[in-house]
Amino acid sequence: MTTLPPTRIPDPYDAPAIRWGVLAPGGIARAWATALHATTRSRVVAVGSRSAERAEAFLAELGAERAHGSYEALVDDPDVDAVYVASPHSQHHDHALLALGAGKPVLVEKAFTRNATEAAAVIDAARARGLLVVEAMWARFLPHVDVVRRCLEDGLLGEVVTVSADHGQRLYPDGPQRLADPALAGGALLDLGVYPVSLAHLVLGGFTDVRATGTLAATGVDASETIAVTGPGGGFGTLSSTMLAKTPCTASVSGTRLRLEVDGVFYQPNVVRLLDPDDHELDRYEPPSREHGLAYEAAEFARLLVAGRTESDLLPLDETLAIMRVLDDVRRQLGVGFPGEG
């Protein structure tokens, strides 16, 4: 019987313990720090915010040791081994460079920056200083995505013909204000669409062609998009994202022999099913847990840092940059720009 390969992703608790500083204590930072403390041996020891009150509230909630009323004070904290940048997309470039300038390795929330020019600047700065930097595209570090990766490496599916993925959440017009604001690099693409784009980039090994269509919000940011991509091997992808409606958020990869389907939300810890052409289930992968998936990226970062590495094989910096170029191309086709991009 044809079976799925096992995941190679270790238990997050087995990763070395490092001391984190959180830059910008918003909602994603809270979820990330909660997962970190629940399932790893690393700890948040400091938090930095432009608001001392917000920093103190985060400190009290998570039990961190020190709250800083500025980002500069956070990155200069000698007890911080690495900085997690959780500010809006529009500020990732500046905040990552701030941390790198202080000699701190950085985990930068997705999307990595507003555009490829900014991404290249961060990557060049990290390489010049020999510092670790990783994009916090958390799905890339999850066990079930490694099962997909191994299927591709082993040729289990045959030649990949198509990949499909969608990500839609009802976040506009009544959701977070930043998503409607061009000055904060809002829109569906950088917040939601980056997930299916990143998955398809992994599956197809990059893109040779990208075609996009979509709709804009009244503020000029993208509200929805459908993206057709072609890989260098001839496989193609159909990807979609929207902040106007909740969608199934599923993904599938179809090859000439077999097909993979990720049940439920594809970018969270989930089941992967292996199907034959008659839709018979041949095997399935069950995740060890469906909770605290954000811990896996933090655990990978800790392993890399202690090993003296400067980037992750699971999401190399050149691939982060290539994906940013794809997002730039999609925005260009949709007619979406951000203030100050040049």
Catalytic residue, from 68, 89, 95, 110: name it. 110
Is the CATH number of domain 139-334 3.40.50.80? no
Instruction: Yes or no: say if 231 and 204 are a contact pair by the CB < 8 Å rule.
Output: yes
Task: Identify the DSSP state of 77.
Answer: -
Judge if the upstream peptide bond of residue 173 is cis by omega within 30 degrees of 0: yes
pLDDT tens over the chain, length 342 residues: 699 999 999 999 999 999 999 999 989 999 999 999 999 999 999 999 988 888 888 888 887 789 999 999 999 999 999 999 999 999 999 999 999 999 999 999 999 999 999 999 999 999 999 999 999 999 999 999 999 999 999 999 999 999 999 999 999 999 999 999 999 999 999 999 999 999 999 999 999 999 999 999 999 999 999 999 999 999 999 999 999 999 999 999 999 999 999 988 999 999 999 999 999 999 999 999 999 999 999 999 999 999 999 999 999 999 999 999 999 999 999 999 999 886
Judge if the upstream peptide bond of residue 67 is cis by omega within 30 degrees of 0: no
Instruction: Yes or no: say if 271 and 262 are a contact pair by the CB < 8 Å rule.
Output: yes
Q: How many CB atoms lie within 10 A of CB 204?
A: 23
Q: Would you state the pLDDT for residue 55?
A: 85
Whole-model pTM: value is: 0.96
Which strands form 133-136's sheet, in the order they lie side by side?
66-68, 43-48, 19-23, 82-85, 106-109, 133-136
Q: Would you state the pLDDT for residue 342?
A: 65
Burial of 174 (0-12, 13-18, 19+ CB in 10 A): exposed
- Dump strand ranges (E) for the chain: 19-23, 43-48, 66-68, 82-85, 106-109, 133-136, 160-168, 209-216, 222-230, 236-242, 251-255, 259-262, 272-275, 281-285
Q: Would you state the pLDDT for residue 64?
A: 79
- Does the annotation count 110 as an active-site position? yes
Residue type, 281: E
Domains of the chain: which residue ranges? 12-138, 139-334
Q: Would you state the pLDDT for residue 53?
A: 83
Contacts of the segment 169-178: beta carbons below 8 A, 24+ positions apart:
169/242, 169/243, 169/246, 169/247, 170/243, 170/244, 170/245, 170/246, 171/243, 172/217, 172/223, 172/243, 172/244, 173/217, 175/243, 178/88
CA distance 148 to 151: 5
Beta bridge partners of 237: 163, 229
Residue 94 contacts by C-beta under 8 Å, 6 or more apart in sequence?
none
At 239-265, the pLDDT tens digits run 999 999 999 999 999 999 999 999 889
For domain 12-138, which architecture applies?
3-Layer(aba) Sandwich (3.40)
